[in-house]
Amino acid sequence: MRRAASGLARPLLYSQRLATAVPARSAAIPGRTMATNVPSSTTTASPAALHTSATPQSPRTAAATATATAAAPSSSVTAQLARKMRGTPRSSATSTASSRADDAYRAAEAAMLAHMPSSVSWTLDRVAIPRAFWPSDSVLAKSKRCRRAEKTGETYEINTLHVRLRGEVEKKPPLVLVHGWGGALGMWVENVEELAREYDVYAVDLLGWGGSSRPNFAKSFPNTPEAAQAFFVESLDAWRTAMNLDQITLVGHSMGGFVAGSYLLRYPTHLRKLLLLSPIGIRGFPTIPTSTFTQSLQFAVIHRAWSLTPQRLLALLPKAQATSIASRVHARTTDIFPSPSLADAFSNYILAGAKRAPGVSGEAAFARLGSPFRGAGWRVPLDEELRRAVKDGNVPVVLAYGAQDWIDPRYAVEKLAGGEGGGGAHVYLLKGAGHHGYAENARDFVKVVVRGERGTLACGVREVSEDPAGVAALRDGWRGAVWSAA
């Protein structure tokens, strides 16, 4: 059993916990930078390009391709922020640094995707959606800033991975994987092979994250929690439309769970099934502890850092201290991906993503939604609306949490799955997993996702409701619960 990550960094989802690892390798890849074993991509609003099979290279070949080291930016993040505050235009040096960050990201992405299993064929593309991606009834349509941002013929791009079993021609239901805060589509590499046995698998970088476009949220969109929620949901639906997918099975992890849950409330007719893995946005967040001054101070620091990218936070620290923190966080990655080469690639990949347009896009939008460490809680809670949607039963809803997750599953167990006034959701706990169950217990996570497809059972895992002793233990206290799922 892998031990769950612990300490101050645990609740920070990805970036504060993982993205401060050693700097990413980068490669000078001509044209549109893609993973090294994928044909050069073209921006498209059609899914056709995503169905071209590619012959994967071995991790060794891909790693050999990504050997050049990108030059460091010529100015610090602090200096860039200072120039912005003074109203100075972006210099050519800043633009060059941004280009280098993009190249470094594509190289790190290629190194991560080099770990894709050889049994699958896959393609990577950037799918075009309109800049004005919101429908007329969206809260975004009411913003003058949004209307000013519209330019005829211009698009945003959603970075998209499409995976099928090699040589397979059978059409299967589409499954869409949505990453968490600071994450990206490459995080699902250990899941795609088994998922592809039941689905056509798509993994996306949400708008503002990973390899997708990074619009400046504060300049182009309303600075409200509702607009931030719509920013993610409407752009995801615009991607679904561009891909010509009618109904999808949607899987969201952590922040992606909030987006996926919000998608259910907005577009239920486009969902076959919904799975939320350790979702935020419903009850279960820790609140600021009051037992000790040290704990209170730690959570205050976390709350302050919630809207910061890792490199901006580390830039405030002395070099020796920043290096020490990066080293420790990199070591913790092995708890998530036990393969040293995959853990190293993942750390570099997440850090490279954090360095693309830091703080102005997805992170800025997410910061508007609030922090789970505020006493008042999340600004756009999904609790009651999601509960009503589950009780309606139009879309099957499954929730899964790590048995050592920092998010408390008791609300889901008691109000969404059963109990007084409960709904019909299925809730699972993944043994030996913390917040990153997709990797910490990849086998059981996949079983939970495919449960019910073509009669498939979640063999070896049990719902919470199937273990009365476990339910009783949960009621006595989440941290003290003893879970007996086989």
CB 54 within 8 A of CB 73: no
Residue 430 CA to residue 436 CA, distance in Å, equals 10
Could you tell me if residue 390 is inside a domain?
Answer: yes
Q: How far apart, in Å, are the Cα atoms of 431 and each of 89, 405, 440?
A: 52, 10, 9
CB 177 within 8 A of CB 227: no
Who contacts 102 (Cβ-Cβ below 8 Å, separation ≥6)?
33, 356
Residue 473 CA to residue 244 CA, distance in Å, equals 46
Total Cβ atoms within 10 A of residue 319: 9
Could you tell me if residue 441 is inside a domain?
Answer: yes
Residue for token digits 């994928």? 38
User: For residue 438, which of 281, 286, 257 has the smallest C-alpha distance?
Assistant: 257
Q: How far apart, in Å, are the Cα atoms of 68 and each of 56, 248, 288, 323?
A: 21, 39, 44, 22
Could you tell me if residue 373 is inside a domain?
Answer: yes
Which parts of 250-292 fold into alpha helices (H)?
A: 255-266
Sheet bearing 397-402, strands edge to edge: 120-130, 155-165, 200-204, 174-178, 248-253, 271-277, 397-402, 426-430
Could you tell me if residue 79 is inside a domain?
Answer: no
Per-residue model confidence as pLDDT tens for the chain (486 residues): 443 333 323 333 333 233 333 333 333 322 333 443 443 344 444 443 333 333 333 333 333 333 333 333 333 433 443 333 333 344 556 578 778 889 999 999 999 999 999 999 999 999 999 999 999 999 998 876 776 555 555 899 999 999 999 998 888 999 999 999 889 999 999 999 999 999 999 999 999 999 999 999 988 898 889 999 999 999 999 999 999 999 999 999 999 999 999 999 999 999 999 999 999 988 775 543 344 545 444 444 444 444 444 545 554 556 566 556 655 665 666 678 878 899 889 988 888 888 888 778 898 898 888 755 544 457 888 988 999 999 888 899 999 999 888 888 888 888 898 655 567 899 999 988 888 999 999 999 999 999 878 777 767 777 888 777 777 777 777 764 555 544
The count of structural domains within the chain is 1
| 283 residue type, one letter | R
Q: Which pTM value belongs to this model?
A: 0.77
Who contacts 152 (Cβ-Cβ below 8 Å, separation ≥6)?
none
Q: How far apart, in Å, are the Cα atoms of 471 and each of 60, 165, 275, 417, 475?
A: 47, 38, 21, 11, 6
Residue 310 CA to residue 17 CA, distance in Å, equals 9
Could you tell me if residue 33 is inside a domain?
Answer: no
Domain boundaries, position 305 = 10-21+45-66+108-476
Q: How far apart, in Å, are the Cα atoms of 131 and each of 55, 216, 235?
A: 33, 12, 9
DSSP structure string for 380-419: S--HHHHHHHHHHTSS-EEEEEETT-SS--HHIIIIIISS
CATH of the domain at 220: 3.40.50.1820
| Residue 14 DSSP code | T
Ramachandran angles phi, psi of 123, nearest 5°: -135, 155
